[in-house]
Amino acid sequence: MSFKAYVMKIANPAQAKILQDYLQEMQGVGWFNHALRVHKKTEPFEENDIVAAITVDRGDLRESFVDETNVCAHSEVPYPHTRLGALNVDEEGTIEGMTIDPDINLENLSSAVECQGACAVDIIFRLVDGYGVLPIVIVGDEEIYRGEFENSVANALKRIDRNFPDLRLTKKG
């Protein structure tokens, strides 16, 4: 056998968990390389998909997921997946239509796919006497941002807006 690079769509948190379990079973002969975001339809992936790039010492990925490691049934194997060599890859290793997302790793892959599109975001303004207002952004159970102290809630909100320009805020409650 020889090591092969694969790229697979991770559509939901259950598939992220299956991939985590699979790679745990394949320690030493399989690992997570990075996550990519598809920004332009690239067969077999659609725009906005999150895909995982993995390397494993197995030629038949589906069989390895199901029969070798028993982490899932055939119908649960993350799909679509393909060998890296089937995609257009330039000399630097960049896959056409995809970019590496350095903020996604194997541990937070589940929350990344869960929040694909839209998800609940909590913004906390912590008032600390003598220091000011500290803006904190939480997605799910994970703190994703802790800003610098500001002199007012309005300025703390402006800092969040500068760091997350695509975040659309709606008032809760």
Q: Give the pLDDT of residue 9.
A: 95
**Edge-first strand listing for the sheet containing 98-100:** 81-83, 4-9, 50-56, 30-38, 98-100
Q: Mean pLDDT throughout 47-60?
A: 92
Handedness of CA 121, 76, 83, 54 (dihedral sign): positive
pLDDT tens track for 73-115: 999 999 999 999 899 998 888 899 999 998 899 998 988 887 7
- Report d(CA 83, CA 81) in Å as an integer: 7
Q: Give the pLDDT of residue 173.
A: 47
Residues near 52 by Cβ (< 8 Å), separated by ≥ 6? 7, 8, 10, 19, 32, 33, 34, 35, 36, 78, 106, 109
Q: Give the pLDDT of residue 70.
A: 94
The yes-or-no verdict on residue 163 having pLDDT over 70 is: yes
**What residue segments make up the domains of the chain, in order of their start?**
4-114, 121-163
The yes-or-no verdict on residue 135 having pLDDT over 60 is: yes
